[in-house]
């Protein structure tokens, strides 16, 4: 479904991603793990079109999207739950969700989708007319995920969704991701919490200083001594 072929991304003169290639199949849950600054978020930003690739190609459903602007990629069915959530802080919970559905405006479907998100995260329904910035960190993360789901995406990119959350919410977020995966949604996950990410993923890639150094089935990666030592705390 998604094929990334040898992309290189620079911030000025600094090379953040050096020739990374990988792919995500339909219905798969793939995790990219690695230390802080390894280039994980940059890869997601490049797939979403928020960061330009100096070389390489990004192909989504046999279509080269390397030069496509962000909003058009969103219309193809790619969405990103960005690091730090990036909600619309002064709009209500429901407005945040509605903007998520922007790429296809059909009132009937919209109602249906809203109900689905509220079913998934009942707390959002309680707070539907509250301003987004007044939610707690965990609730904001639920809203960010809900907003992404409102577009009925075919591929969801998730950037450090567990970062800075209370343990209770970390578990809830991962349960939600697992649930989406079971429903058949394709997910690409970037996580510092390698243990949890590998526990739910089908496959994984290990990133070090902008390069893929290991790849394979998640369970195999999780039991690899090098991965264990570097990312799972021994």
Partner 1 sequence: MFGGYTLTVAINIGIYIILAISLNVITGYAGQISLGHAAFWGIGAYCSALLATKAGLPFWVVLPLTIALTTLIGSLLAIPCLRVREDFLAITTIGINFVVQAVFLYVPFFGGAMGIGGIQAPFGMSSFFWITWGFVLLCVVLDRWLVRSWIGLALESIREDETAAAISGIDVVKFKVLAFAIGSGLAGLAGHLYAYFMTFISADDFGFPQSIVILSMIVFGGIGTLRGPVLGAIILGLAPELFRPIMEYRTLIYGALLIFMMRFQPGGILGEESLILRTFRGVRQRA
Residue 21: CB minimum distance to partner 1, A:
24
Footprint of partner 1 on 128-157 (CB under 8 A): 147, 151
Stretch near partner 1 under the rule CB under 8 A, chosen from 94-102, 177-185, 213-221, 226-234: 94-102
For partner 1, the closer CB: 102 or 223 = 102
* Residue written as token pair 């649930």: 179
Q: What burial class does residue 98 get, using C-beta atoms within 10 Å of its C-beta: 0-12 exposed, 13-18 middle, 19+ buried?
A: middle
Footprint of partner 1 on residues 2-61 (CB under 8 A)?
Answer: 48-50
Instruction: State the burial class of residue 144 (Cβ atoms within 10 Å of its Cβ: 0-12, 13-18, 19+).
Output: buried
Residue closer to partner 1 (CB basis): 110 or 232: 110
**CA-to-CA distance for 139 and 225, rounded, in angstroms?**
36
Which of the stretches 71-79, 161-169, 180-188, 215-223 binds partner 1 when contact is defined by CB under 8 A?
Answer: 71-79
Using alpha carbons, select from 18, 28, 30, 21 the residue that is nearest to residue 3: 21
Instruction: Give the burial class of 46: count Cβ atoms within 10 A of its Cβ; 0-12 exposed, 13-18 middle, 19 or more buried.
Output: buried
Determine, following the binding rule CB under 8 A, whether residue 105 of this chain makes contact with partner 1: yes
Name the minimum Å distance from CB 7 to partner 1: 19
Cα(25)–Cα(29) distance, integer angstroms? 8
Cβ proximity of 59 and 15 under 8 Å: no
Q: Which of 89, 119, 122, 137 binds partner 1 (CB under 8 A)?
A: 89
Q: Which is nearer to partner 1, 10 or 88 (CB)?
A: 88
As given in the structure block, the two tokens for residue 78 are: 């790619």
Span from 65-73, 166-174, 202-210, 221-229 in contact with partner 1 (CB under 8 A) = 65-73
Q: Is 229 helix (H, G, I), strand (E, B) or coil?
A: helix
Rounded least distance, CB 161 to partner 1, Å: 14
Q: Which residues bind partner 1 (CB under 8 A)?
A: 48-50, 69-71, 74-75, 79-80, 82, 86-91, 95, 98-100, 102-103, 105, 147, 151
């Amino acid at each position: 479904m998604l094929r990334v072929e040898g992309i290189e991304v620079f911030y000025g003169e600094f090379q953040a991603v050096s020739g990374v290639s990988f792919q995500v199949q339909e219905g798969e849950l793939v995790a990219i793990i690695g230390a802080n600054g390894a280039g994980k978020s940059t890869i997601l930003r490049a797939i979403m079109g928020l960061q330009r690739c100096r070389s390489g190609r990004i192909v989504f459903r046999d279509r080269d999207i390397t030069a496509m602007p962000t909003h058009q990629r969103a219309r193809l069915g790619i969405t990103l739950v960005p690091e730090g959530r990036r909600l619309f802080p002064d709009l209500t919970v429901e407005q945040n969700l509605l903007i998520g559905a922007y790429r296809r405006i059909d009132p009937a479907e919209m109602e249906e989708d809203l109900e689905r998100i509220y079913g998934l995260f009942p707390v959002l329904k309680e707070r539907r007319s509250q301003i987004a910035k007044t939610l707690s960190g965990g609730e904001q993360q639920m809203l960010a995920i809900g907003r992404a789901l409102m577009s009925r995406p075919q591929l969801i990119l998730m950037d450090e969704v567990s970062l800075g959350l209370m343990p209770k919410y970390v578990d809830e977020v991962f349960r939600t991701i697992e649930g989406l995966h079971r429903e058949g949604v394709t997910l690409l996950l970037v996580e510092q919490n390698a243990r949890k990410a590998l526990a739910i993923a089908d496959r994984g890639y290990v990133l070090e200083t902008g390069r893929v150094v290991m790849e394979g089935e998640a369970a195999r990666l999780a039991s690899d001594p090098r991965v264990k030592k570097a990312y799972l705390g021994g």
